[in-house]
Structure 1
Amino acid sequence: MAKFQPQAVKLYYHGETFDTKQEIHEISDAWLIADDVVGTYSDDWLVFYDTGRLEKKSDGYHLYENNYPRFFTVDTPKVGADLRKIDVSKLAGMSFTDFVRIGFKLGRSSYESY
């Protein structure tokens, strides 16, 4: 069996704004880091989506908010600057449990400082 190779993909978000309920459509750079996990990041969070509820099209993965996609986020103000340094493609091969452990560890470290 060949080793999984991460690949750059596009993630298309289709949803609505929280306050005005206006439709929004956003495109993000993302990585397919496992057969069933797409990861992306911004300035202050990492998010990993289970591809089971994303629609795969020729231009990338489409996330429809009303399809209730499964996801896991890492979002702590203390590590925000450090998250930008993470090469999401290097997370390939990690299990979802590993992602959860990373999240709990980062969350715990930010709470212990209070």
Structure 2
Amino acid sequence: MDTFQPQAVKLHYHGETFDTKQEIHEISDAWLIAADVVGMYSDDGLVFYDTDRLEKRSDGFHLYENNHPRFFMVDTSKVDADLRKIDVSELAIMSFADFVRIGFSLGEGSR
């Protein structure tokens, strides 16, 4: 059985602004950390998307706001830490327990 290798990918966000409803197309660096999970940094923390509702193209994954993609977010303000210290590609080889331990250790500085 082959071990999954994380891959650097591009995530293309397609949506619109709240106020003017002008179309937006933003491209971000991200990691395919499992066959069905893309992870990336946002301004507020780490975000993980289920690839089920993302469109895979030769230039990366395309996220369409109106397709309501499923996601999970670790908010920087919740753990009071700099999540950019986490290497997203390393999460691919971690167990869930390891991931939870990272969350606890990041939050220790807030006590």
Is 1:38 the equivalent of 2:38? yes
- Separation of aligned partners in 2, 1:65 and 1:43: 17
List aligned pairs for 1:9-20, cutoff 5 A. Answer: 9-20=9-20
- Asked whether the equivalents of residues 31 and 89 of structure 1 are also in contact (C-alpha less than 8 Å), the reply is yes
| Superposed CA RMSD | 2.5
1:76 maps to a residue whose letter is T
- Asked whether the equivalents of residues 44 and 80 of structure 1 are also in contact (C-alpha less than 8 Å), the reply is no
The count of corresponding residues between Structure 1 and Structure 2 is 105
Residue deviations 1:46-68, cap 9 Å, x none? 10000000000001000000111
Offset at residue 81 of structure 1 (A): 4.5
TM-score, scaled to structure 1: 0.79
TM-score, scaled to structure 2: 0.81
Offset at residue 21 of structure 1 (A): 1.2
List aligned pairs for 1:30-109, cutoff 5 A. Answer: 30-77=30-77, 79=79, 81-94=81-94, 98=96, 102=100
- Give unpaired runs (5+ residues) of structure 1: none
